[in-house]
Every structure is written in C-alpha cells, then in structure tokens.
A and B are shown apart, each in its own frame.
Chain A
Amino acid sequence: MTSGLQILILGLALGGVYALMAIGLSLTYGVMRILNLAHAAFMVLGAYLAYWALQILHIDPLVSILINGPLFFILGIVLYRILFVPLAGRSRYTEATLLLSFGLALGIEGIMGAMWTGIYRLANPSYATRSLVFGSFYIPEGQMYATAASLGILIALWGFLQKTRLGRAIRATMQNRTAAQIVGVHVERISALAFGLGMASAGVSGSLLSFLFPFFPGKHWQWISILLSLVVLGGMGSLIGTVVGALMLAVASVYVSSALGPTWSPATFYAALFLVLMIRPQGLFGKREV
C-alpha cells in the first residue's frame, strides 16, 4: 500500500495527462456533436509516430509533440472536410458520425497492425526509468514532464478559447449554433478548426503516451473507453467537466491500482461510467438534455 498523499500526487499527475487526452473528444462533441470513436486510435497512431521518431531519428517524444500537433491538426481538417462535411444535415447526425468514426478506428487499427505488428511497444527516452524523490514522496520523471507538457498545452488551449476571436467563436458555436450563425460565424469553418484542434490534441497525447504506457494497435479501445468514461462523468461537451472528470478518475484509478493491483485499474473507469449513468446521467457539468 502506498500512502494517501502519494496516491493523490500520482493520480493528479496522471489526471493532467488524461485531461489532455480527452479534451479533444469533448471539444469535437461540444462544437459539432461528433462523437469521435477514432480519437484514441489516432492517439495510438501518434504514439507510434513518436516511437519511430525516437528510434530512427532520435527525436525525443517531448520534442515530437511539435511534429505531431501540426501534423494531426492538418489531418483532422482534411478528414473533416472529406468525411464529415458530406454528413451535414443528415437526420440522426451524431449516430452517423459515430458509425463513421467507428469504421475509421477499425481502419487505422488494421493499418497499424500491418505496419508495426501486435507487439507491445514503449518508447524509452533517458528519463523514462528515473524517478524524482521529494522527502518521502516520489514521482517518475517521465510522468512529471508529461504532466507539465499537458498542463502547458491545456493552458494554451484555454487561453486561445477565452482570449482570441476564433476561440470565442468556438465557444459560441458550442453554446448556441444558430446564435453563432446570426453574429456571422461561419460555423462550418469553425467546426473544421475545432475538429483539427481535437485531432491535434490526440496527436500530442500520442507523443506522451509513447513513453508513459505500453501500447499496441488494439489498445486504443481501452483508451477510448477510459477517455469517454471521464468525458461522460464531466458532462459531454463540457471542457471544464472533462478536466475535472480526468483528475477525479485518475486519482481513483491510482487508488484502485494500489489496493487491488494494476489489472483492475481500468475497471475504475467502467464502474464510474455505470455509476454516473445511474445517478446523474448528464454528468457533473452537463446540461439535462444530452
């Protein structure tokens, strides 16, 4: 057993990374009601790219964030234009996007399997195995860098959404799509931007994932359900809810992991999801009508 404070430290550190991983899911759902089931598949793809960059080009995963971000941003805009724009105006739009992204996830999984086989991978930068000790507490060095990077990116995203014209337009579209149109927001363009940002967050999370957790192509299913669980807990489409949900569930999962063993830590998320659906289906920060 680890001490309570130690669990809290590790949990919050982990939660920061989970928040970054899930924020894009929340953003794309909030802005356009697209539930992107391929989000984690793109994240794992990002992890493979970061792994490659380290193995072949000796680029540190923390540096490959700068490659993955723009790369996945552009990929996101292209995918949005090709795949999601044609669905606009379709009745039962969310359902259609869900099936579409499900197909996309399977497609990427197969391609990753063909390229990199099903073997577990883990990028191994120099800091991955070291730990920092503060008195009676410790924190793995890699985890600390990943958390710092996540927080930095999340704060930058927050600043963008709060303080810039385009960021405000994204929030406006999330809150009231028609009203956004009325004040002259070109909502299709804003949607493409938001989808690109969501994908970019998947890409940069992949860089962090590459050295934090072992991964293989099929692993993205576990990730997507973990991330969706905390999005549902926070309230679908609420960005602040996603961050709070990530911190809460990460701490809970670290606790479960230390009490019952790491095997059961993913179960924390599933159990939390069922509990939320039972007690407060709209989540912590969600509005009634989901």
Chain B
Amino acid sequence: MLILEIEEVSAGYGMGPDILSRVSVRFEAGLIHCLIGPNGAGKSTLLRVIAGLLRPRSGRVLLEGKVISGLRPDQILAHGICLVPQDRSLFPDMTVRENLLMGGYIERDQRQVSRRMEEVLEIFPEVRRHLNHRAGTLSGGEQQMVAIARGLMVHPRVMMLDEPSLGLAPLVVDRIFEAISRLKTMGITVLIVEQNVRKGLAYADRGYVLDMGRLSFEGPAREVMEDPRLQELYLGRMVLSNREVQG
C-alpha cells in the first residue's frame, strides 16, 4: 500500500535555482526507505518539502491520496508526518523531559501527553535516565535518541530522519539504526537520508538514489547496493573517503 506520493515536485530556496526539479517518488507503508545520493542531490530538501518547512514551487505531495503540500508544518505534523532534522534540533536549554513534552505540543490535552511520554519511554528506556538533564549537555548519540523519541510523541505514521548517523561513532551508529528498526516493528513508515550508504541500505527495505534534483533509480535495498550505477555515481561525481563508502 502506498502511503506517500511525491508528484513532479520542484523546490529551491529563496531566489535560488531549483534544488529538486520535477522529482516523483512513491513510498510504501510500513517499510524503511533509504534516500542516498551525492551532496546537493536534494535529499534533505525533499524531506523539508514533505514536512512543510519548504513550499514546493510546483508539484504536490500526497498522503494516502490526500494533498498535503501547501499545509503549514504544524498541520502536516498533525497528519502524522514528523521530521528529525540533521542537527537533531533539540531545545538545548530545556531538559529532556521538556523536549519530549514539546514533542507532544500539538496535543492540547496534557494528560494524553504524559501518557504518551510513558509509552515512548518504554520503547526507548535508555532515554529515561536523562529525563532531567539539559538536552544541550547530552552526547551526539543520546541527542539523536531523544530526537527520535521526541518525534514519536505525536504517534507518527511516517518518520523522516535526516542523516541520523552524522558525526557519531560506529558503535553508536549501530544503536541508532537498531532503534530505527524498532520503529518499523511499530508499523511506522521510515524515510532515512544517509551519507553512510552501506549502513543505510543494510537496514532499509528499499533504496532511492537521487541525483541533481531527480530520482536516478530505485529498487530493493540490496539490489541498489550492488547496482554498478551507484559506484559510478559516487566515484564519478565526488570523492568519498573510504570510511564513508565502507561505513
């Protein structure tokens, strides 16, 4: 079953050129989708468009057949689509507890929010011991966990993660991807943007390769990984450090 459809979307910032040019992608419910591609391919921009933080110049985004592009970010969030951006975007001077409460901001009933927080803490018990710490004092991996937990506060149907492994040690990266797998078992559709191609595709069901603002090719994650076009794309366009390619 399809959950998200991107139809011919073009988008860019300010007066600048199109970052996405008429890109069309479809995402299936309940799977982990990994978006890869060179820097500037438009991966993060696509997530921002879906989240409503950036209005597309043309084209539309549909959630289960209903158009959601053009809605405000808070309205899209209310439809169950949440974004965990690259910089985690926590509130550094608030405690983890307050960050989670802010995650449930669109729910007005505070009892519902508290109940949901308990549920989320059961899913991510490792977050509990930091509840009273200021978010800004946590390590990168802990912050990423909190950011994912915060996203869960709204009962999302789709969770989008922009480079969850960025700047984390390999061991921590594994823990994060394990947490992402837990999201799948809860029935949440996951969209990940990853520079760490090997790692991202290893955990994903499907892979999507973006290049120059368009969808270059897609397929089951394993096939994408072995596709010679992928090697070509990375080696031809940009020099990746060994560590990044091998993950």
Q: Which residue in chain A gives the minimum CB-CB distance to B150?
A: A183
Given A182-B85, A183-B77, residue A165 in contact with residue B105 (CB < 8 A): yes
CA distance A178 to B90 in the complex (A): 10
User: A172 to B110, alpha carbons, bound, how many Å?
Assistant: 17
Contact of B108 with A by CB under 8 A: yes
Q: How many A-B residue pairs have CB under 8 A?
A: 64
B interface size (C-beta, 8 A): 26
CA distance A168 to B153 in the complex (A): 16
For the complex formed, measure the closest distance between the CB of A239 and the CB atoms of chain B, giving whole angstroms.
11
Contact B98 A168 (CB under 8 A): yes
**Chain A residue contacts of B93, Cβ below 8 A:** 171, 175
Per the bound structure, the CA–CA distance linking A248 and B94 in Å amounts to 26
Contacts of B51 in A (CB 8 A): 182
CA distance A29 to B105 in the complex (A): 23
Contact B91 A179 (CB under 8 A): yes
Q: How far is the CA of A169 from the CA of B92 in the complex (A)?
A: 14
Distance to closest chain A CB from B147 (angstroms): 9
Report the Cα distance A169→B105, complex, angstroms.
Answer: 8
Most buried by A among B53, B90, B93: B93
Q: Judge whether A179 and B90 touch: CB under 8 Å.
A: yes
| Chain A residues whose CB sits within 8 angstroms of the CB of B83 once the complex forms | 182
A residues touching B (Cβ–Cβ < 8 Å)? 165, 168-169, 171-172, 175-176, 178-186
Q: Which residues of B contact A (CB under 8 A)?
A: 51, 53, 72-74, 77-78, 82-83, 85, 89-94, 98, 101-103, 105-106, 108, 110, 150, 154
| Across the A-B interface, the 6 shortest Cβ-Cβ residue pairs | A179-B89, A184-B74, A184-B106, A184-B77, A175-B91, A181-B73
19 A-B pairs (CB sep. < 8 Å): A165-B108, A165-B110, A168-B105, A169-B102, A169-B105, A172-B102, A175-B91, A175-B93, A175-B94, A178-B85, A178-B89, A179-B90, A181-B53, A181-B73, A183-B77, A183-B105, A184-B74, A184-B105, A184-B106
